[in-house]
Chains A and B, each alone.
Chain A
């Protein structure tokens, strides 16, 4: 694993974002729009029902955390799509760059994106709604790290599918993550899901994170069980997805798809 080659890819994408206003705005536009809409909804709900104690914290916290997952996924998938759009995959993979280094670079990029978006959302939530996400405490950090890992998992899965099936699968870059949203229990407790769906949700690390976040708010204690499950599941799925990525990469090289993926 060469840090210099990983750095080369990071530099390539930083050049891209530095110059491209639409790409730069895209990072902030949707999260801010989400925050405005959900912020007003939660304010309205808070005014209507006294019983919904801490509703602002629930919804805005959940929204910010969901965006962490979403941006982590996009960081990986969109970076790959950028190379397809630029017809740059042959330049990259005819160089000493390895598939593992490529993947590591996209993961690092996703952390950069998540950091930027989270910073903006945290500030905006505080300015517009006097909401301080750090009310959740330091225990938030391991949960956020778990969400980033879940985002990577979905990102690598999506990238592998796009690499294998080409541009016809591009739409998954924006849609795949929402397939996981209902069973991530972002805005509602897992208990409201129908019984047949609950095992699927329990197998989803993101559901443990959001259940954990609600437990912190309601009980004021760090739910180590949820944290343990989220971490264990993430480690398992991440390993699985890295293997899938390398397998798909090998299949694409065998079928000559790697250099034709953007055609």
Chain B
């Protein structure tokens, strides 16, 4: 938060699909080393925001700058420093865990690939599944693989779309512990979505609350809870989500 240049600088970002507005003129910053939780009910625009930040979707209007560089114009340079993990994506089923990591390493132009793979496999305790076919992984193992592919590239920005959804509490706890430790050691910026309010409180320095494609609140958990006069983030979520209904 001391750097004069935000890791992510979003200005007046709008995404429309025909008559439907998925994101409506949102602006926010994500500072180096900061974790921001993107919160909102289904259809609020969280995943759309992440897809726009990954440049797999183009905005209708507005701008995205990553470390000061315009994402559209400097896509290749910028995306080397950004990675993501999501419960909703997969990796080629017919490749082993190691083969998938090797392909990703080549895609991002990493050097010393074998050492990087060894490191990430050790960090995420994946030695037992290293040579396992991806199609045979459990959902917890799959989450670890998508996380491994994301952190292996040494990103400066990590976008996490419900990284612990559908995981049992034990594995979810391990994933969160890994992310917290990794964030502190690597000093990366994270944008995090989840429907688990406790997780959001635990992981996020700041919350951005989206509703119907607009930012309706942003600040620390305490600020948002105070602003809405509720007892915790979950109560704020319920209040805002029900207003939408």
Contacts and interface: CB of A to CB of B under 8 A. Distances in A.
A92 B103 CA distance: 10
Interface residues of A, number: 33
A88 interface: yes
A7 B109 CA distance: 10
A108 B38 CA distance: 41
Contacts of A9: 103, 107
Interface in A1-31: 2, 4-5, 7-9, 11-12, 15-16, 19-20
Interface stretch (A177-185, A200-208, A254-262): A254-262
B94 A19 contact: yes
A171 B104 CA distance: 29
Nearest to B47: A259
A16 B56 contact: no
Interface string B31-49: 0000000000000000010
Interface residues of B, number: 33
A94 B55 CA distance: 6
Interface string A59-89: 0000000000000000000000010001111
Interface string B97-116: 00100111011110000000
A94 B94 contact: no
B107 A94 contact: no
B58 A250 contact: yes
B104 A91 contact: yes
B109 A5 contact: yes
B141 interface: no
A95 interface: yes
Nearest to B109: A4
A256 B103 contact: no
Given A16-B92, A86-B93, A95 B107 contact: yes
Contacts, number: 93
Given A94-B79, A96-B107, A87 B89 contact: yes
Contacts of A259: 51, 56-57
Contact of B94 (A16, A98, A255): A16
Contact of B109 (A2, A12, A91): A2
A11 B103 contact: yes
Contacts of B108: 95-96
Interface string A93-123: 1111110000000000000000000000000
B91 A88 contact: yes
Contacts of A97: 107
A258 B107 CA distance: 19
Contacts of A8: 103-104, 106-107
Interface of B: 17, 48, 51, 54-58, 75-77, 79-80, 82-84, 86, 89-95, 99, 102-104, 106-109, 149
5 contacts: A15-B94, A88-B91, A95-B104, A258-B57, A259-B51
